[in-house]
Amino acid sequence: YHKRFFPYYTFNVLAGVDSEGKGAVFQYDAIGSYERTGYTTSGSGSSLVMSILDCQLAKGNQTMATEKPNKQEVVELAQDVLSSVGERDIYTGDAAEIFIIDAGGVTKANFELKKD
């Protein structure tokens, strides 16, 4: 009750599969506004991660046509990005969890980051 005028500010990411069987990613801000996006990130290293994802997934400024990455390539990209941000952002922890969501269900992958 004592937090009613000063709520906790959280920035959430919700992902899943929509009714058409396509991946759905939503980003929420602290007051509950949301947006459906192709990918997003949240947290202290967000600005570092988002710039890499924009380059590798959106390919907005690249002139060569490329194929969409497969599931394994996306998991490898996520591991690489999280390992990279762990080297630059002091608030990123020592391990990461990736949840792989597809029509078959959810699979969780854990891996260690820096240990310093």
Question: What is the C-alpha end-to-end distance of the chain, expressed in Å?
Answer: 39
| pLDDT at residue 7, rounded to an integer | 64
Q: Are 30 and 17 contacting, i.e. CB atoms less than 8 angstroms apart?
A: no
Q: Are 18 and 103 contacting, i.e. CB atoms less than 8 angstroms apart?
A: no
| pLDDT at residue 81, rounded to an integer | 92
Query: Which alpha helices (DSSP H) does 1-116 contain, by range?
Result: 46-53, 71-88
Residue-wise pLDDT for 66-95, tens only, equals: 788 888 999 999 999 999 998 898 888 889
Q: Are 45 and 88 contacting, i.e. CB atoms less than 8 angstroms apart?
A: yes
| Close Cβ partners of 51 (under 8 Å, ≥ 6 residues apart) | none
The pTM for the full model equals 0.78
Average pLDDT taken over every residue of the chain: 86
Q: What is the residue extent of each domain of the chain?
A: 13-112
Q: Which fold has domain 13-112?
A: Glutamine Phosphoribosylpyrophosphate, subunit 1, domain 1 (3.60.20)
Sign of CA dihedral 36, 51, 49, 91: negative
Residue-wise pLDDT for 7-20, tens only, equals: 667 788 899 888 89
